[in-house]
Amino acid sequence: MQPRGCGMEIKMEQQDNSRLKQILKNRRDKLAEYAEAGMDPFKITKFERDNNAKNIRENFEEYEGKIVTVAGRLMSKRRMGKVGFGDLSDRDGHIQIFAKKDILGDEEYERFKKLDIGDIIGATGEVFKTETGEISIRVSKITLLSKSLQPLPEKFHGLSDQDLRYRKRYVDLIMNGDVKNTFVMRSKILTAMRNYLDSRDYLEVETPILNTIAGGAAARPFVTHHNALDMDMYLRIATELHLKRLIVGGMERVYEMGRQFRNEGMDIKHNPEFTSIEIYEAYADYNDMMDLTENLMRYVAETACGTTVINYQGTDIDLSHFERLTMIDAVKKYSGVDFNEILNDEDALAAAKAKGLEVEKTKSTRGDIIALFFDEYVEDKLIQPTFITDYPVEISPLAKRKPSQPELTERFEVFITGREFGNAFSELNDPIDQRERFMHQVALRAAGDDEANMLDEDFLNALEYGMPPTGGLGIGVDRFVMLLTDSYSIRDVLLFPTMKPLDK
């Protein structure tokens, strides 16, 4: 027996499907009519326009009474007898078009009446203001440039389905101006980051995406196969090791902004492919990288947003001030456990047990457990910009040891809104120490940790030629864009986020 109301729902769905089929047929019939009349819009290769909606609206006094030609998508249409109105939307705004039968003529006005919402048109006419004060174009000519064969979503169920918006970003951009604004802002943010570094004599470079070794980060790589060489290769998980080779080669100040690929889970903070920027400077250390991070973020916020106080999900974030805490001090502050008084692995394990924390067998050293305490008690408390410094050597295979505390490294991460935004070191340039740390990572991989670093002999060879003291920094660009655009999910700042196919 069907549940009460189920039959009505099925009937309504059938009616919707039938109505949609009719709409699709009508649109194709109209396209056929245009083709038969020798005006197939898809045969038009170019359309000359001399203006856009935003410019006309912002400079009405200059354009009033003048003839302009614009182009864009028809987003609405209404008719009152021999007069029609439409809303034309282009990249930067929208403007009303005013169609009058006496001006267009009978044949052209009939074509205007047959236009569908979503059609892309060109319009030529006189700029004026209606009696209601609406800036408009009194069209004397309309050209159909592309026929929309699919109805826009509001005709049916709208764009309330967030999953559908990510899958069909092209429709999302048509319907939601705020979405388009987010990606315009993203472009401004990336440009500002580049401008800041370029103006300070950093050189932008490009390094390989396909690698024979996945290195530079603790992450699971994507594996592909090169047919000509008959060998497996990896999509890069970081640009670090290639960029440090360039420092060895004497380039001194380099950066790369680009895609990284990590074969890991997806959530509001993670996407399998994402954008990062990595920056390396010879003769600098992690303190210089902290200054660079703070100044870069402040500059970008001021340039792209006009302020260093950013409201993110209801909380004001002040990028004009960054707190600095060591990892051990942060753990003490938020968990009450002082690892300055816990000096060996056994006591660290006991402290974790006392707190009920589960320790993995391959990550049971004092340094690993400090990191475990940090993840459990600290990270989500770091709302305002905070540098966490001096990480244990066990979790920092590419960072230089602190001379005064060799069990720690000159490393920091920057946290905002309880999330990591960047990672930086005084880079390890001792090839002997680097080999020992790589071998520890190799042992972890052999024990089942598929995120541990691989041994990179060529990188070790590069270090043996001599790398100067170097500061290195990596920033998660997508997360920074999320912050500056008040976006909840990383998918909101990626034009085409990774999505599971519907048939899966």
Give one DSSP letter per residue of 462-501, joined into a string: HHHH---SEEEEEEEHHHHHHHHHT-SSGGGG-SS-----
Question: What Cα–Cα distance (Å) separates residue 486 from each residue in 183, 222, 256, 397, 417?
Answer: 12, 30, 25, 34, 11
**β-pair partners for 84:** 79, 99
Output the pLDDT for position 452. Answer: 85
- Neighbour tally for 354: CB within 10 Å: 9
Residue among 208, 162, 171, 201 nearest 499 (CA): 162
Instruction: Name the DSSP letter for residue 205.
Output: -
**β-pair partners for 402:** 405
Question: What Cα–Cα distance (Å) separates residue 490 from each residue in 181, 380, 502?
Answer: 16, 17, 20
d(CA 303, CA 171): 30
d(CA 68, CA 123): 8
CB 434 within 8 A of CB 460: yes
d(CA 87, CA 51): 16
pLDDT tens over the chain, length 504 residues: 555 556 656 665 667 788 889 999 999 999 999 999 999 999 999 999 999 999 999 999 999 999 999 999 999 999 888 999 999 999 999 999 999 999 999 999 999 999 999 999 999 999 999 999 999 999 999 999 999 999 998 644 445 678 889 999 999 999 988 999 999 999 999 999 999 999 999 999 999 999 999 988 889 999 999 999 999 999 999 999 999 999 999 999 999 999 999 999 999 999 999 999 999 999 999 999 999 999 999 999 999 999 999 999 999 999 999 999 999 999 999 999 999 999 999 999 999 999 999 999 889 999 999 999 999 999 999 999 999 999 999 999 889 999 999 999 999 999 999 999 999 999 999 999 999 989 988 998 888 888 888 899 999 999 999 999 999 999 999 999 999 999 999 999 999 999 998 887
Output the pLDDT for position 111. Answer: 93
390: left (phi over 0), alpha (psi -120 to 50) or beta: left
Output the pLDDT for position 155. Answer: 45
d(CA 421, CA 387): 10
Residue matched to tokens 């009719």: 22
What residues contact residue 436 under an 8 Å CB cut-off, 6+ apart?
Answer: none
What H or E segment, with its residue span, contains residue 36?
Answer: helix 6-36
Output the pLDDT for position 4. Answer: 56
What are the φ/ψ torsions at residue 479 (nearest 5 degrees)? -65, -35
pLDDT digits (tens, 9 = 90+) for 61-78: 999 999 999 999 999 999
Output the pLDDT for position 206. Answer: 98
pLDDT digits (tens, 9 = 90+) for 409-419: 999 999 999 99
Residue matched to tokens 């000509």: 228
How many Å separate Cα 444 from the centre of its chain?
Answer: 32
**β-pair partners for 387:** 324, 414
d(CA 256, CA 190): 12
Is 23 exposed, middle or buried, given 0-12, 13-18 or 19+ CB atoms closer than 10 A? middle
Output the pLDDT for position 428. Answer: 94
**β-pair partners for 89:** 73, 94
CB 386 within 8 A of CB 420: no
Residue matched to tokens 């649109």: 27
Q: pTM here?
A: 0.91
What residues contact residue 219 under an 8 Å CB cut-off, 6+ apart?
Answer: 237, 238, 262, 263, 264, 451
What residues contact residue 501 under an 8 Å CB cut-off, 6+ apart?
Answer: none
Output the pLDDT for position 9. Answer: 63
